[in-house]
Structure formats: C-alpha cells, structure tokens
Amino acid sequence: MTARRRRARAGWLLSTPALVLLLCGAAGPLLVVLVFSFLTKGGYGGVELPFTAEAWFRIFFQRDIFDGTVSAADAHIQIFWRSVWLSLATTLITFVLGLPTAWFIATRPARTRTLWLFLITIPFWTNLLIRTFAIMEVIRNEGLLNSALLGLGLIDQPLQILFTDTATLIGMAYVYLPLMVLPLYAAIDRFDMRLLEAGHDLYASRWALLRRVILPIIRPGLVAGCILVFIPALGAYVVPRVLGGGKNMMVGNFIELQFGQARNWPLGAALSMMLLLVVMAALLVYVRAMAQEGRDD
C-alpha cells in the first residue's frame, strides 16, 4: 500500500508541469471569457462593472430602444440556425463522399494503401486560407466550374455560387473531408471481410449488408469522423468569411464581429461560451456512443 501511494504521488508530481500548463493555457482564458460574459459593455469596447446577465439574454432576445419591449433576436437566431444546418450538411456530405473513399483505400493492396493515404493527407500541408482561395477560384463567376459549363453549352450565363451558403458548404466539405475519411479508414481497415461473404451466403442485399453489417461495425469510426467534422465546421471562420463574403455569417464570424467592430465584448464572450456548450454537448454524444459500443461488445 505504501509503495502504491508513493508511485501515485510520483505520477502526480511528474504530471504537475503539464497540468499547470493546461490550467494556465486553456482553463485560464476560458475563465476570463466566462467572467467577461457576465460584465457590462464598456463605452469604447472592453468590459466594466457591474455584473449582469444581459449579454446572455441578448443572445436570443432583444429590447426595443424606445419602449423596452422584448422580442426574439431574429438575426442572432438566423446566424445560429445557419451555422448548425451548414455544419450538419457538411457532416452529411463528407460522410457520403468519405465512406466510399475510405472503403476504396482500405480494400487496396497493402503496398498501395500508403500512397492513397498520403494523397488524402496532402491538403493538410497547405494553409487553410490558401485552400479556401483555391476553391474560390473554382466556383467564382469566371472560375473553372463556370468556364467548363459555359464551354459545354450547359448554361448561358455563369452560375452565382460565390458569396452564398452553397459556396460556404462546398468550401467546408472540401476542407473537412479528410477528417471524415481517416477515422472511417481506420475502422474499415479492421473490418472482417468474411462477414460480407457470410451475408451474401444468406442472400442479403447490398443495402442490407451496408445497413446491418458494415455501418454497425464501423460505427466508432463514423461517430469520430462526424465529431471531427461537425465541431470545427460549427466554429468555422475563414471559409464563411472568404466564400460567404461576410454577408452570410456563421457563429465564428459573429463572435469576431462583436469583439471587433461592434465593441460588445460581453456579447462576444457569451456567444463564445454558448458555442463551447454546443461543442461539449456534441462530445458528450460521442462519449455516450462509445460507452454504448463498449457495453455491446
């Protein structure tokens, strides 16, 4: 018992530098943002006393400047809704594209599998801003896509894709696709292909095999990929700013606006904490799914 306590004490002492760094570098700034969200907006930016929950109230509600009546903050709700549905749509698109891609890579011969994985990870070598500008060159009015469609005679005038929600969706799907492919590949790589042969012997259709055999077994990789795509897509800033043109804001752009031009630091802090709560909820879903997977096993 004494030796066990000594080893536990030594373990805590060895982890103390990492814990202090984590506390100062992560928990400390989050605590500052949390405190800011309960302070009053300063006259020229910043925050000041007294403490109030007005910033949290203004996330979803607003007061009339003349009679003080309360109404829903339609603009804020619209931004939140746009952020959520674009993130969900991005997750769905990356899953639809990532599953066959991961399956293709996992079923290649071992000597070529590394090459395909290398090709998937190449976009990570390039800065996110550069990748976003590359997509913009493809979908702009005089870009590669419209030029090809005009050359084939399929359209009479360029499609207005840039500076729309569609452009933001295309950009985020392109940027976050590798984050879906890699976890799916890791799950499919451990998949026992003899299960497919057994399913075919039992006259199961391809759809039944996908729904009842493949997806349940690769569920950990699927859930991990969805979390890895949904969370950064929900807080995306660069892609909506460049491809959305600043008109179709998401939560990340709205938070930057409050800390920048609007000079409303408490509202920006409250929005940041609200985004953090949504991310924590998504992570809890992932943890529960993994715990259920462990109980099923």
For residue 83, what pLDDT is reported? 94
Q: Each residue's pLDDT tens digit in the chain (297 positions)?
A: 677 888 878 878 888 888 888 888 878 888 999 999 999 998 887 888 889 999 999 999 988 878 778 888 888 999 999 999 999 999 999 999 999 999 999 999 888 888 998 998 888 888 899 999 999 999 999 999 999 999 988 888 999 998 989 999 999 999 999 999 999 999 999 888 888 889 888 888 889 988 889 998 898 889 889 999 999 999 999 999 999 887 788 999 999 999 988 889 999 999 999 999 988 888 887 777 767 665 665
d(CA 21, CA 25): 6
Which residue bears the tokens 């984590």?
Answer: 22
Angle at which helices 128-139 and 165-189 pack, to 10 degrees? 120
- Per DSSP, the three-state class of 159 is coil
Residue in 95, 117, 114 with CA at minimum distance from that of residue 180: 95
Residue 102: inside a domain, yes or no? yes
Where does residue 204 rank: exposed (0-12), middle (13-18), buried (19+ CB within 10 A)?
A: middle
Tokens read off for 80: 């939140």
Q: How many domains are contained in the chain?
A: 1
Position 13 in a domain: no
Residue 117 has which token pair?
């994985």
Dist CA 243 CA 166 (whole Å): 9
Quick check: is 179 in a domain? yes
Q: Are 105 and 116 in contact (CB under 8 A)?
A: yes
Domain assignment present for residue 4? The answer is no
- Whether 167 is in a domain gets the answer yes
Residues whose CB is less than 8 angstroms from the CB of residue 233 and which lie 6 or more positions away in sequence, other chains included: 86, 87, 90, 91, 172, 176
Q: Can you tell me the distance from the alpha carbon of 117 to that of 138, in angstroms, rounded to the nearest whole number? A: 24
Q: Does 134 map to a domain?
A: yes
What integer pLDDT is reported at residue 125 of this predicted model? 86
Helical spans, DSSP H, in the chain: 2-22, 28-36, 54-60, 74-106, 110-121, 128-139, 144-151, 165-189, 194-201, 206-209, 215-217, 219-234, 238-243, 251-259, 265-296
Question: Which domain range does residue 283 map to?
Answer: 71-296
Dihedral angle computed from the Cα positions of residues 241, 92, 273 and 68, in that order, rounded to the nearest 10 degrees: 80
CA angle, 278 then 279 then 283, to 5°:
120
Cα separation of the two ends of the chain: 34
* Rounded Cα–Cα distance for residues 200 and 116 (Å): 28
Q: Which tokens sit at 28? A: 């400390």
* CATH of residue 220: 1.10.3720.10
Residue 49 inside a domain? The answer is no
20 part of a folded domain: no
- Calpha distance 143→147 (Å, rounded): 6
Q: Which two tokens stand for residue 194?
A: 């003899």
Phi first, then psi: give them for residue 53, nearest 5 degrees. Answer: -100, 20
**What's the CA gap between 269 and 275, in Å, rounded?**
10
